[in-house]
Amino acid sequence: MSKLLYAIFAHPDDEAFGVSPTLIKERHEGAEIHLITLTAGEAGVNPDELSDLGTARLEEWHQSAQIIGAASTTHLGYRDGRLCNADIDSIVEQLVSQISHHLRSDSSLTALDFITFDVTGLSGHIDHIVASHATVLAYHQLAPQFPAVHMRVRMLCATKQQQPATNADWRYAPIGREPEQIDEIIDASEYRDEVVQCMRAHHSQRKDCESHLKNRGDTLCVNHYFVIE
């Protein structure tokens, strides 16, 4: 194994509804996948009126991780909906500690990809933005320490075609990126069944899941990235 991939997001289900096509394709191609969630998603919708939504969502996340084929899952324990600038330093410290230990313990590694949301948080969710910024900061701290490992950050983004206008229905989400700003397109349509299973593992968030399945159609397994390296 020569490629390591860390998917770093704010909530359980971010990996499934966002980048599961890429993660599943990468795993089939031999990459080792590690998932990190900053929170347990306890502030999410709770259609079943569960007494401990966070625990249930972490269980769903672990099910999703099994379908993806992730080698590990790490929950950092921050509060859902409360992430802010004050948390970034401690998040980055934990990310750098875990990933640097991994890199030092395996001298065969030649490539490391970070995957997260665009710096806009994609939907404008502040938790998403904090996770994105923390990931980029961790990359900038780690890259000089391990010059023999090719590192990059792949940031999932909306295209201008997907989001042609500012969306302020919930939070502020800007217009999608122009074609020349898209550095990489991943089409994992051959793994659609696995992607759908991964998404549906997040049963408590099934309304969002079914919305994605309905609205994204043939593009469900296509991811667009802005890349930093």
| CA atoms of 222 and 188, how far apart (whole Å) | 6
Residue 2, pLDDT above cutoff 90: no
Cβ(148)–Cβ(111) under 8 Å?
Answer: no
Cβ(151)–Cβ(142) under 8 Å?
Answer: yes
| CA atoms of 68 and 63, how far apart (whole Å) | 9
Confidence band of 1 (pLDDT split at 50, 70, 90): low
| CA atoms of 79 and 56, how far apart (whole Å) | 15
What integer pLDDT is reported at residue 203 of this predicted model?
A: 97
6-62 pLDDT, tens per residue?
A: 999 999 999 999 999 999 999 999 999 999 999 999 999 999 999 999 999 999 999
Coil, strand or helix: which one is 123?
Answer: coil
What integer pLDDT is reported at residue 226 of this predicted model?
A: 97
Nearest Cα to 134, choosing from 158, 106, 148, 155?
A: 155
How many Cα neighbours within 13 Å face the side chain of 24? 28
In terms of DSSP bridges, do strands 150-156 and 111-117 run parallel, antiparallel, or are they unpaired?
parallel
> What percent of the chain is modeled with pLDDT above 90?
93
Supply 219's token pair: 């593009």
Positive or negative, the CA dihedral 221, 225, 31, 57 is negative
Q: What are phi and psi of 59, to 5 degrees?
A: -65, -40
Confidence band of 149 (pLDDT split at 50, 70, 90): very high
How many residues does this entry show for the chain? 229
Cβ(6)–Cβ(36) under 8 Å?
Answer: yes
DSSP notation for 203-226: GGGHHHHHHHHHHHGGGTTEEEEE
What integer pLDDT is reported at residue 140 of this predicted model?
A: 98
Question: Which residues, at least 6 apart from 108, have a Cβ–Cβ distance to it below 8 Å?
Answer: 1, 2
Amino acid, res. 139: Y
Q: Which regions of 79-180 does DSSP assign to beta strands (E)?
A: 111-117, 150-156
108-117 pLDDT, tens per residue?
A: 899 999 999 9
